[in-house]
Amino acid sequence: MKVSFKYYILAASIVLGMTSCDDYLDKMPDNRTELDETSKIQDMLVSCYPTTHYAAIAEFESDNTDHMDVLGYTSYKKIQDEASEWKDITYEDDDSPFKLWNDCYHSIASANMVLEAIEKQGNPAELQAAKGEALVARAFNHFILVNIFSKAYSPKTSSTDLGIPYVTKVETTVAPHYERGTVADVYKHIEEDLLAGIPLLNEASYSVPAYHFTKKAAEALAARFYLFYVQDDKSNYDKVIKYAQDVLTSNPLSMLREWKEIGSLSPNNSVRANAFVDADRKSNLLLCSTNSLWVRYYGPYGIGYKYCHNTTIAATETNKATTLWGSYSRLNYKIYQYTSMPKVIMDKFGEFFEITDAVNDVGVPHEMFPALTSDEVMLNMIEAYIMKKDYDKALTNFNIWMHNFTSYTKNVTMDDINRVYGEYQEDELTGESTGMKYYTPTEPTPKKELHPDFTVEKGDQENFLQCLLHCRRIMTLHEGLRWFDIKRYGMTIYRRTIDGSGDITVTDTMNVDDPRRAIQLPASVIKAGLEANPRK
Mean predicted confidence (pLDDT) in 355-364: 86
Strand pairing partners for 355? 363
Pure H helices in 252-373: 259-263, 271-276, 294-298, 311-316
pTM beyond 0.95, yes or no: no
Cβ neighbours of residue 154 closer than 8 Å, sequence gap 6 or more:
161, 183, 230, 453
pLDDT digits (tens, 9 = 90+) for 112-155: 999 999 999 999 999 999 999 999 999 999 999 999 999 999 99
Q: Is 497 helix (H, G, I), strand (E, B) or coil?
A: strand
Contact at 8 Å (CB) between 159 and 232?
Answer: no
Q: How confident is the model at residue 356 (pLDDT cuts 50, 70, 90)?
A: confident
From residue 307, alpha-carbon distances to 6, 71, 186 in Å are: 36, 13, 33
**Sign of the alpha-carbon dihedral angle for 371, 373, 378, 379:** negative
Tell whether the model's pLDDT for residue 12 goes beyond 50: no
Instruction: Please list, in sequence order, all residues whose beta carbon lies within 8 angstroms of the beta carbon of residue 208, skipping any fewer than 6 positions away.
Output: 279
Query: Measured in whole angstroms, how far is the alpha carbon of residue 309 from the centre of its chain?
Result: 17
How many residues make up the chain in this entry?
Answer: 536
438-497 pLDDT per residue, tens = 999 999 999 999 999 999 999 999 999 999 999 999 999 999 999 999 999 999 999 999
pLDDT by residue (tens digit) across 516-536?
999 999 999 999 999 999 998
Q: Where do the DSSP E strands lie in 36-164?
A: 66-69
Phi, psi (degrees; rounded to nearest 5) at 31: -105, 20
In this predicted structure, the answer to whether residue 335 has a pLDDT above a threshold of 50 is: yes
Residue 525 in 3-state DSSP? helix
Query: What is the enclosing helix (H) or strand (E) of 291?
Result: strand 284-291
- CA 193 from chain center: how many Å? 20
